[in-house]
């Protein structure tokens, strides 16, 4: 007997158990291609891809970001302690520590979000909508590694219920749900997602030591049996360590600060090299630091046609041109950061590849995509550079343009209609 036959026998009654049937249908369509065909005459396009599998492509594109993110969480933690600072030193500790930080965030994100999705799907009497496959991965990607889980749960409930289900579910929301969750936690609990300290996990800042909860109890005996390095519970934080990010340094000191003798004494490059920022060995959100991983993910999404290359390129152009204007203007230290180095700092590239290209909340017309992407690049960099109270600008810029995307498309379509009517009138007069 085929596995699908066994699976089908488990199907619960839709009327008696609507919630169980909704959950069953979600798993069934995840493992098997829907058995739906077109009927009638005419030409029809058939494809093995459906919405769920399209969404899976986005999740796959982020996997390298998560792998490096796990490593970097450990790297930043041990850098704060001044031990195992080498790139491959105590690699097992860094990966395990990073995974143990990401796993609870990922579980809460998906359990809370999918629980809401299942509830609304059962109430409405339809299948679970696939949009949360991506949202459930994006939310952990853009959160600090040390975010309190109860705050995370509240932000997800707010974003999914008020930002998505109230508008009708997947495909009907006007705002990016993942960014809405981050916006909620940023404005409701600003100290947990801003400043320098939230980006490095596993530290008891009051006592100034490492704090591993139960991680060291579970893994230290295993590592000891192999003669490997173990977690040092209570290890002191390096004196003078601040956990400052490039985005925290740039508004105050700029890109590079020199004394009268020409010696480098401050600025972003005094703490982090451009190569270090590009590779991703800096504090930041879980999946936003490694630029090569993000670029590879972007190439994958463009090749598969899942994400719009027009939005990516236009947003990059918006950042580049605005950055050049700021370099020429240069009346504050942040404006002195070379325009191309903005791509190295913070979550710009991640926003460009995975956030701005959301097909539901972005512009749908080709011309509209150019306007939409360029506007995000311009607005995001203006917020980043001109607002000292908010080190990043991409969340606000994307949410702002989400609201205006339908208006952009409306005028693009109206302009096309006007041009066609004029052409028709000209042909008629001839």
Measured distance CA(316)–CA(406) in Å, rounded = 22
pLDDT string in tens for the chain (430-residue length): 466 666 566 666 666 666 566 666 656 665 665 555 555 555 555 555 556 667 788 899 999 999 999 999 999 999 999 999 888 899 999 999 999 999 999 999 999 998 888 788 777 766 666 667 788 899 999 999 989 999 999 999 999 998 888 887 777 788 999 999 999 998 898 877 777 778 888 888 888 898 888 888 889 999 999 989 999 888 999 887 877 889 888 888 889 888 888 788 889 998 899 999 999 989 989 999 999 999 999 999 999 888 999 999 999 999 999 999 999 988 888 999 999 999 999 899 999 999 999 988 999 999 999 999 999 999 999 999 998 677 788 999 999 999 999 999 999 999 999 988 888 787 766 5
In a domain, 32, yes or no: no
Looking at the fold, whether 305 and 183 belong to one and the same domain comes out as: no
User: What secondary structure does DSSP assign to 207-222, as a single string?
Assistant: TTEE--TTHHHHHHHH
Last residue of a domain, one of 202, 235, 254: 202
Q: Where are the alpha helices (DSSP H) in 62-90?
A: 63-81
Last residue of a domain, one of 159, 184, 202: 202
In a domain, 227, yes or no: no
CB atoms within 10 A of CB 133: 25
Looking at the fold, whether 60 and 197 belong to one and the same domain comes out as: yes
**Half-sphere exposure (CA, 13 Å, Cβ side) for 31?**
11
319 neighbors 339 (Cβ within 8 angstroms)? yes
Looking at the fold, whether 68 and 192 belong to one and the same domain comes out as: yes
CB atoms within 10 A of CB 421: 10
Q: What is the pLDDT of residue 2?
A: 63
Last residue of a domain, one of 172, 202, 232: 202
Looking at the fold, whether 303 and 189 belong to one and the same domain comes out as: no
Q: What is the pTM of this model?
A: 0.87
In a domain, 279, yes or no: no
DSSP state of 239: T
Looking at the fold, whether 82 and 185 belong to one and the same domain comes out as: yes
In a domain, 254, yes or no: no
Q: At CB < 8 A and 24+ separation, what contacts does 23-32 make?
A: 23/118, 23/128, 25/127, 25/128, 26/118, 26/121, 26/127, 26/128, 29/127, 31/7, 32/4, 32/7
373 neighbors 315 (Cβ within 8 angstroms)? yes
Looking at the fold, whether 174 and 310 belong to one and the same domain comes out as: no
- Per the structure, the count of domains in the chain is 2
Q: Where are the alpha helices (DSSP H) in 258-365?
A: 274-279, 291-304, 309-329, 348-350
Looking at the fold, whether 60 and 173 belong to one and the same domain comes out as: yes
In a domain, 256, yes or no: no
Looking at the fold, whether 304 and 413 belong to one and the same domain comes out as: yes
Per-residue CA distances from 418 to 192, 413, 421, 423 (Å): 50, 9, 5, 9
Q: Could you list the residue range(s) of the whole structural domain that residue 151 is in? A: 51-202
In a domain, 22, yes or no: no
Looking at the fold, whether 195 and 65 belong to one and the same domain comes out as: yes
Looking at the fold, whether 67 and 183 belong to one and the same domain comes out as: yes
Looking at the fold, whether 69 and 195 belong to one and the same domain comes out as: yes
In a domain, 313, yes or no: yes
In a domain, 338, yes or no: yes
User: What secondary structure does DSSP assign to 403-417, as a single string?
Assistant: HHHHHHHHHHHHHHH
Looking at the fold, whether 193 and 302 belong to one and the same domain comes out as: no
């Amino acid at each position: 007997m085929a596995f699908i036959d066994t699976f089908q026998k488990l199907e619960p009654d839709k009327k008696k158990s609507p919630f169980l049937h909704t959950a069953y249908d979600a798993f069934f369509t995840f493992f098997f291609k829907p058995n739906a065909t077109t009927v009638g005459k005419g030409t029809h396009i058939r494809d093995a891809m459906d919405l769920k599998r399209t969404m899976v492509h986005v999740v796959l594109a982020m996997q390298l970001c998560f792998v490096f993110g796990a490593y970097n969480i450990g790297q930043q933690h041990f850098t704060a302690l001044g031990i195992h600072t080498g790139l491959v030193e105590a690699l097992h500790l860094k990966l395990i520590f990073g995974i143990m930080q990401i796993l609870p965030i990922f579980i809460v994100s998906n359990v809370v979000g999918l629980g809401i999705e299942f509830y609304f799907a059962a109430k409405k009497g339809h299948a679970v909508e696939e949009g949360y496959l991506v949202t459930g991965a994006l939310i952990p990607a853009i959160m600090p590694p040390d975010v309190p889980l109860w705050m995370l749960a509240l932000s997800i409930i707010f974003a999914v219920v008020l930002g998505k289900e109230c508008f009708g579910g997947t495909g009907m929301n006007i705002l990016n749900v993942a960014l809405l969750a981050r916006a909620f936690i940023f404005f409701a609990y600003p100290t947990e997602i801003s400043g320098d300290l939230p980006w490095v996990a596993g530290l008891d800042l009051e006592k100034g030591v490492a704090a591993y909860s139960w991680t060291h109890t579970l893994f230290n005996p295993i590592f000891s049996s192999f003669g490997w390095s173990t977690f040092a519970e209570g290890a002191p934080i390096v004196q003078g360590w601040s956990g400052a990010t490039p985005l925290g340094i740039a508004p105050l000191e700029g890109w590079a600060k020199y004394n009268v003798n020409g010696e480098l004494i401050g600025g972003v490059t005094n703490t982090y090299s451009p190569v270090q920022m590009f590779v991703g060995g800096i504090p930041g959100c879980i999946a936003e630091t490694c630029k090569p991983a993000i670029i590879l993910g972007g190439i994958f999404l463009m090749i598969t046609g899942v994400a719009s290359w027009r939005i990516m390129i236009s947003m990059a152009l918006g950042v580049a041109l605005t950055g050049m204007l700021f370099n020429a203007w240069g009346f504050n230290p942040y404006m002195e950061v070379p325009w191309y180095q903005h791509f190295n700092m913070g979550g710009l590239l991640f926003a460009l590849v995975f956030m701005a290209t959301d097909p539901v909340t972005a512009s749908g017309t080709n011309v509209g995509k150019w306007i939409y992407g360029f506007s995000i690049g311009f607005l995001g960099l203006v917020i980043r550079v001109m607002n000292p109270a908010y080190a990043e600008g991409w969340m606000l810029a994307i949410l702002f343009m989400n609201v205006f995307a339908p208006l952009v498309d409306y005028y693009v379509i109206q302009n096309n209609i006007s041009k066609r009517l004029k052409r028709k009138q000209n042909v008629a007069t001839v």
